[in-house]
A and B are shown apart, each in its own frame.
Chain A
Amino acid sequence: MTPADPSGSQPQPLLLATSELLSLAKAGDARALDSLMARYLPRLRRWASGRLPMRARSLFDTGDLVQETLLKTFERLDHIEVRGPGGFQAYVRAAVLNRMRDEVRWADRRRGSEEVTDALEDHGPSPLDMAIGADVVARYERALASLDEEDRMLLHLRIELDYDLGEIATHTGRATKDAARMAVTRALKRLADAMGHGH
């Protein structure tokens, strides 16, 4: 086995910020795409598995769906309005949730269900709903949507993908772990403010 960059003359792709990887990927750097895939696929798959309603779990493979969504995003990087890493994260997150809705809707139709609904939640609780409560999840989503892209990215990385602050510093191009901590703290506070108002 060899390291990703045996020469050591170039930065390790895994140590580059997502924005840098996106730029390289747009320029056709296959290693950057590989690194983005390696960076996000495993965690996105696990995150998505927590959002899929229990009753819909037998309908399709969440892992395949996330992988396909991520690949399609990469294929269309030039055509997607992704202003920065925040936009990229927001796009992928929304794309995965939308794909899950589409798949469930198609499965309903295929099974001849009389009622075909667009709401993922109508297919029963997800593991997250069961752990936290569907009302809290809904409030969280509303509050998250009210924040800007940068905050949403930081919270997605910290809360949903469980990256530690050092990794977030790397991914978001911040100089230090403390800088990442400060940014995440501010985003969390704004999120709690928005959720608190919904109580």
Chain B
Amino acid sequence: MATDRDRLTESLSGGEPIDWALAEKSAVSEEDRSWLRALRDLERMTEFHHSLQAGVAETEATTVQERWGDLLLLERWGSGANADVYRAWDTRLQREVAVKLLRLQGPAEDAAALAEARALARVRDPHVVMIHDVATHDGRAGIEMEFLHGPTLEEEIARRGALPALEVARIGAQMARALAAAHAARVVHGDVKPANIALEPESRAVLTDFGVGKRSDVSASGPFSGTPMFMSPQRLAGATATAADDVYALGVTLRWALGGAAPFAAQSLDELRAAAGRGDVQALPPGAPAALVTAIAQAIAPEVSARVASAQALAEALERAAGALAPVHAAPGGGWTTTQTIIVAVVAVLLAGATFLMTRPRPKPAPPNPLIASEAYDVSATLMKYGARGSAGLSEGDRVRPGDRLSVNVRGTLPLYVYVLDADDKGESYLLFPQPMFDQKNPLPASSDITLPGARGGKPSAWTVTSRGGHEHFLIVASPSPVAELEKDLASLAAPMPNKPIAYARVGDESIERLRGVGGVDELPEAGSGRRSRMNAAPASKASAAFEKIRALAGRESGIRGVWVRAVTLRN
């Protein structure tokens, strides 16, 4: 059967069909039959992988040689009437992104779409898709944004049918918060629907597709599908989309998720107008929790005056509903509970070891800081990790992994205002402490060992690393007086609500620049000790790099005046 073996393997290597019945007839020994079984297994193996890789070849063939600015287009992810979406590789920042390349009618339309995208980029909320860049390259306008891996809510409903009430309430609360943030930035989504909600790992729902570059006209009559189902009676009557319409669309979306089917039984636009105008929704399965049903009903009230007042108010109602539904779990290993766990979003980006402070441009010199002349004090601050292998102090360059819990141990000789910031490799900075929900408040008392973020509701809390990849940059700031720039960011936080996801304050570039000025990176506070910068400024040599590392390891400083800052970059 030697010749047959050659022929059969050649057929398999070329992807040609094999007549197995004929091959088996020619098998004369047990060894032949074993060999044939092996080859058949390999054919199945090949077919399995062929199905797994389906679609890659076409997208590679059409896109991998194309670039858009610094982006290498890897795969066409979707196409619409006015835009193509690609999965792409940012060759400058070495990260995977999505890019929406617009196909509009002309410069005016491009400019309008890009202006919308820039407005969206100003929306700061973990549940709003993050815009990285808005630009035009080679005559084609586009928007670079966060790449989302998860399925859409639409796909999830199609796969699972009606979703559990708690899941609906949590998704709804996150989406309502996202809309509240968008509305605060005067951005109206205009097309909230299950297909525009991505369900990412770690129970993070993300509102996508803010309608940049799209038109959302409703035809006067005729059959319809999709978007009109989520339009308020006012929009169905031809009105321009408003924040109240977004709230309504989210209500319909949640009603759909809770019931597993379209809320309105309508076969035409006229029927939909009539049903939506009457608020004539399909019955829900028995047992739907009243608080959630009521919250949704208030969102889809036909009259705007009867509708819940804002996305913020809807978020609060949904959070209350979720809180009433959520079981309380004791997490393994020491009394942590899920509601006390704080998520540190860690992005999968590599940025070659630069700390975020050092990479930011510095457009103008920072003004002098009056705090620098204050009373001298000592401070020690250590970043701690509680992982599967116990607790340990963290030093520059140490590795953390998903599941590790992080805290900061602080001690000062004066009452101190302490701030903990986290920056991801995207350059986004978050203020992790202080936060309104923690029992620990600034100023921290003098001469006591304090663990941050401290307790929440009397129980210890920590920041938990939930995903991996890249670097995580922590900045610990201490000062005898409030640091005005950071306090300003804190003031933007909403009041804490029981069981609601924590919204961290994003720290603006201006605050960071100001902090650079006061923190000693460029304007060294003269404490009489002759010390140079306490920040991990870019080392001039290997020796100075080692020196900086030793300083970071020491975890203690003395004779400080004004603002004290330490940066620690961790690998994850």
> Which residues of A does B touch, CB under 8 Å?
1-4, 12, 14, 30, 34, 37-39, 41-43, 46-47, 49-50, 58, 60-61, 63-64, 67-68, 71, 75, 106-107, 109-112, 127-128, 131-132, 136, 139-140, 143, 158-162, 164-165, 181, 184-186, 188-189, 191-193, 195-199
- Is there an interface contact between A110 and B388, defined as CB atoms closer than 8 Å? yes
Confirm or deny: B13 has a beta carbon within 8 angstroms of a beta carbon on chain A.
yes
B137 surroundings in chain A (CB, below 8 A): 1
- Is there an interface contact between A192 and B13, defined as CB atoms closer than 8 Å? no
A67 surroundings in chain B (CB, below 8 A): 96, 348, 469
- Is there an interface contact between B403 and A196, defined as CB atoms closer than 8 Å? no
Q: Which residue of A lies closest to B59 (CB)?
A: A42
CB distance from A58 to the nearest CB of B (A): 8
Confirm or deny: B216 has a beta carbon within 8 angstroms of a beta carbon on chain A.
no
- Is there an interface contact between A106 and B403, defined as CB atoms closer than 8 Å? yes
B35 surroundings in chain A (CB, below 8 A): 192-193, 196
Known: A50-B49, A60-B201; 17 extra A-B contacts, CB below 8 A, are: A1-B137, A2-B67, A2-B138, A3-B66, A14-B64, A37-B72, A37-B89, A42-B59, A68-B469, A109-B388, A127-B52, A131-B48, A132-B48, A140-B45, A185-B10, A195-B38, A196-B38
A58 surroundings in chain B (CB, below 8 A): 201
Q: Which of B10, B42, B65 contacts A14 (CB 8 A)?
A: B65
A189 CA to B10 CA, complexed, in Å: 9
- Is there an interface contact between A181 and B53, defined as CB atoms closer than 8 Å? no
CB distance from B350 to the nearest CB of A (A): 6
A197 surroundings in chain B (CB, below 8 A): 34
Interface residues on B, range: 35 or more
1/0 contact string of B61-104 vs chain A (CB within 8 Å): 00011111000111100000000000101010010100001000
- Is there an interface contact between A1 and B53, defined as CB atoms closer than 8 Å? no
- Is there an interface contact between B53 and A64, defined as CB atoms closer than 8 Å? no
Q: Which residue of A lies closest to B42 (CB)?
A: A192
- Is there an interface contact between A38 and B64, defined as CB atoms closer than 8 Å? yes
- CB-based closest 10 A-B pairs: A110-B403, A112-B332, A195-B38, A196-B35, A199-B34, A162-B53, A109-B388, A196-B38, A184-B13, A189-B9
1/0 contact string of B382-412 vs chain A (CB within 8 Å): 0000001000000000000111000000000
Confirm or deny: B285 has a beta carbon within 8 angstroms of a beta carbon on chain A.
no
Confirm or deny: B333 has a beta carbon within 8 angstroms of a beta carbon on chain A.
yes
Give the contacts of B26-41 with A (CB-CB under 8 A). Answer: 31, 34-35, 37-39, 41
Q: Which of B34, B52, B140, B388 contacts A46 (CB 8 A)?
A: B52
Q: Which of A64, A185, A188 contacts B469 (CB 8 A)?
A: A64
Confirm or deny: B149 has a beta carbon within 8 angstroms of a beta carbon on chain A.
yes
- Is there an interface contact between B89 and A34, defined as CB atoms closer than 8 Å? yes
CB distance from B158 to the nearest CB of A (A): 19
B46 surroundings in chain A (CB, below 8 A): 158-159, 162
CB distance from A29 to the nearest CB of B (A): 12
A75 CA to B53 CA, complexed, in Å: 26
> Which residues of B does A touch, CB under 8 Å?
5-6, 9-10, 12-15, 31, 34-35, 37-39, 41-42, 44-46, 48-50, 52-53, 56-57, 59-60, 64-68, 72-75, 87, 89, 91, 94, 96, 101, 137-138, 140, 149, 201, 332-333, 348, 350, 388, 401-403, 467-469
- Is there an interface contact between B42 and A195, defined as CB atoms closer than 8 Å? yes
Identify which of A131, A161, A162 gathers the most chain B CB atoms within 10 Å of its CB.
A162
CB distance from B129 to the nearest CB of A (A): 17
- Is there an interface contact between B14 and A1, defined as CB atoms closer than 8 Å? no
A159 CA to B333 CA, complexed, in Å: 44
A114 CA to B314 CA, complexed, in Å: 42
Q: Which residue of A lies closest to B95 (CB)?
A: A67
CB distance from A67 to the nearest CB of B (A): 6
A–B complex contacts, Cβ < 8 Å, 25 sampled: A1-B138, A4-B65, A43-B56, A46-B53, A50-B48, A58-B201, A68-B350, A71-B350, A106-B402, A128-B48, A131-B48, A132-B44, A136-B44, A139-B38, A139-B41, A140-B45, A158-B46, A162-B53, A162-B56, A188-B39, A192-B9, A192-B39, A193-B35, A195-B38, A195-B41
A54 CA to B50 CA, complexed, in Å: 20
A37 CA to B403 CA, complexed, in Å: 29
- Is there an interface contact between B348 and A68, defined as CB atoms closer than 8 Å? yes
Q: Which residue of B lies closest to A158 (CB)?
A: B13
Q: Which of A42, A49, A132, A185 contacts B60 (CB 8 A)?
A: A42
Q: Which of A41, A61, A112, A184 contacts B149 (CB 8 A)?
A: A61
- Is there an interface contact between A196 and B75, defined as CB atoms closer than 8 Å? no
Q: Which of A132, A162, A188 contacts B13 (CB 8 A)?
A: A188
A196 CA to B37 CA, complexed, in Å: 7
A165 CA to B348 CA, complexed, in Å: 34
CB distance from B75 to the nearest CB of A (A): 6
Q: Which residue of A lies closest to B150 (CB)?
A: A61
Given the known A-B contacts A61-B201, A196-B31, are A185 and B140 also in contact in the complex, defined by CB atoms under 8 Å?
no
A50 CA to B47 CA, complexed, in Å: 12
- Is there an interface contact between B332 and A111, defined as CB atoms closer than 8 Å? yes
Q: Which residue of A lies closest to B389 (CB)?
A: A109
CB distance from B39 to the nearest CB of A (A): 5
CB distance from B100 to the nearest CB of A (A): 14
Identify which of B6, B68, B401 gathers the most chain A CB atoms within 10 Å of its CB.
B401
Q: Which of B6, B13, B38, B66 contacts A199 (CB 8 A)?
A: B38
- Is there an interface contact between A34 and B37, defined as CB atoms closer than 8 Å? no
- Is there an interface contact between A1 and B66, defined as CB atoms closer than 8 Å? yes
B53 surroundings in chain A (CB, below 8 A): 43, 46-47, 161-162
